[in-house]
Structures are given as C-alpha cells and as structure tokens.
C-alpha cells in the first residue's frame, strides 16, 4: 500500500513529526510513503519551505523528497523543483460561494497553469473544490470538455493523476470522482498515484484501501510508486 500525500510539521496545518509519520505508516501496513508538505504561494495560504533544510530532513530518514506545490498561476514561481523527487502540483483557490461557475473558473485557471508549467510529476485532487461545496455537488458534465483538455495534457506530457482519498470519508468518492476517473481512462490515462492528504497521524492511509478498490473496479491495473525511480505496482 502507498500514501503519497502526507503533511508534517513543515506544513502550517499539520503538527505531525516525521518519525511519527513513518511509525504510523508502518503500523498501518503502508510500505510506500512520501511526505508532501505545502510550498504555497497564494497570499492567504502562503508557506515557503527552506528547501535545503527540508531536503536534509527527509534524506535523514531515507525518504523521497516530496512537496505539494500550490500555485495560482499568478505569483512569480521561485523554487528549484529539481531538488524534489516528487512534485505534486495543486491549485487551491476557488471562488465563494462555490457553484458550477466557480468550478469552471477553477478548471480554467488550472488549465492555464499546466499549459505554462511542466516541472511537476502529478496533479493533485483534480475536483478539489467539491469538498467545500455546500451540497458536495459533482462537477457538471458541461465541464468535461475542460477537464478532458487538462487530462490530455497530463497524458501527453507523461504526468500522473493523483487519486486523493480524503473525500471518501466526506461523500464517498475520491478526488477526482469515479466519473472523472472513468473519463481519464477513456482518454488513455493510466498513470495514477494515490494519497490520503493526511494532516494528522490518524488520517494517514485514510480511504486508501477503498481508493484502490475503486481503481480496480474501473479497470485500472497499477499505481506508480517511487524507489529511486518510478515503477508500476499492480493493485
């Protein structure tokens, strides 16, 4: 089992110590972990990691060096992504109140970002705003053209799509949703990473087993894990 989206005390919204994360993952039978702390450029969520200190800390525990790179596409991006083994690209800003129009604007901004920026390995929680929508309303099929364009860029550029399992305990589906995972597969998408988006020790591994079940039910055969290089692991 793998969990490639975990936050430690290097993120402002987590208190977890790295050694405790490692021990908790071991106790839960999670063989592959990557800690992906926030490097966030948006003003309201800004968190700039001292990359060299952070890298040294991860290497001390023989962990791949991961980061969740949050970018709105507007601020100047000054980070050497080559210092990370795993760059999980994310975009967190969404207009309030959250409506289908908010979803659309979120997707258009995300599309613009990945058209201009290529220094990442995987795209995080594609339909992320749904988590915070009042009725947890799925993205409308009218938005699938934009979503398809995003997915086609990922596939063309050899990027991975993250299955983020945090939302499973909220409304029973991961990000992206089951319908969007079907769409990704129909477009030829195969490369998947999986992560719990854990901000506490208790959340490590949450939803991962169900996420794997969903992938198998949809006909996916493997996820990607990192052992000095990326490789496929059958599920």
Alpha-carbon distances, residue 153 vs 42, 69, 160 (angstroms): 24, 18, 11
Task: In whole angstroms, give the CA distance from residue 235 to residue 215.
Answer: 8
Per the CB < 8 A criterion, the answer to whether 174 and 214 are in contact is yes
Task: In whole angstroms, give the CA distance from residue 195 to residue 175.
Answer: 10
Per the CB < 8 A criterion, the answer to whether 120 and 135 are in contact is no
* Two structure tokens written together for 169: 């305990």
Going 25 to 27 to 28 to 32, the CA torsion angle's sign is: positive
- Range with lowest mean pLDDT among 18-27, 76-85, 143-152, 172-181: 76-85
Domains and CATH numbers, the chain: 2-234 (3.20.20.140)
* Average pLDDT across the chain, whole number: 96
- The pTM (predicted TM-score) of the whole model is 0.96
Q: Give 42's pLDDT tier (boundaries 50, 70, 90).
A: low
Report the pLDDT averaged over residues 23-48.
Answer: 89
44 burial type by CB count under 10 A (0-12 exposed, 13-18 middle, 19+ buried): exposed
61 burial type by CB count under 10 A (0-12 exposed, 13-18 middle, 19+ buried): exposed
Q: Give 45's pLDDT tier (boundaries 50, 70, 90).
A: low
For the chain, give the number of residues: 235
126-138 pLDDT, tens digit each: 999 999 999 999 9
* Two structure tokens written together for 49: 């990691």
**Is the confidence at residue 111, as pLDDT, over 70?**
yes
């Amino acid at each position: 089992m793998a969990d490639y989206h975990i936050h430690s005390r290097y993120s402002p919204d987590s208190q977890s110590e790295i050694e405790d994360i490692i021990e908790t993952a071991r106790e839960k039978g999670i063989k592959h972990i990557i800690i992906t702390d926030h490097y966030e450029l948006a003003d309201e969520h800004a968190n700039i990691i001292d990359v060299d200190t952070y890298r040294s800390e991860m290497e001390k525990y023989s962990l791949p060096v991961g980061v969740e790179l949050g970018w709105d596409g507007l601020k100047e991006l000054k980070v050497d992504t080559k210092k990370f083994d795993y760059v999980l690209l994310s975009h967190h800003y969404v207009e309030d109140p959250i409506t289908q129009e908010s979803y659309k604007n979120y997707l258009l901004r995300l599309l613009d970002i990945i058209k201009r920026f290529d220094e990442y390995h995987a795209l995080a929680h594609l339909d992320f705003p749904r988590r915070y929508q009042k009725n947890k309303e799925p993205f409308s099929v009218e938005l699938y053209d934009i979503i398809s364009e995003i997915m086609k860029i990922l596939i063309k550029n050899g990027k991975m799509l993250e299955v983020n399992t945090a939302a499973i305990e909220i409304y029973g589906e991961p990000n992206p949703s089951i319908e969007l995972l079907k769409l990704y597969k129909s477009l030829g998408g195969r490369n998947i990473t999986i992560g719990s988006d854990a901000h506490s020790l208790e959340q490590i591994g949450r939803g991962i087993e169900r996420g794997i079940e969903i992938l198998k039910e949809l006909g996916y055969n493997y996820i990607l894990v990192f052992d000095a290089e990326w490789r496929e692991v059958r599920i």
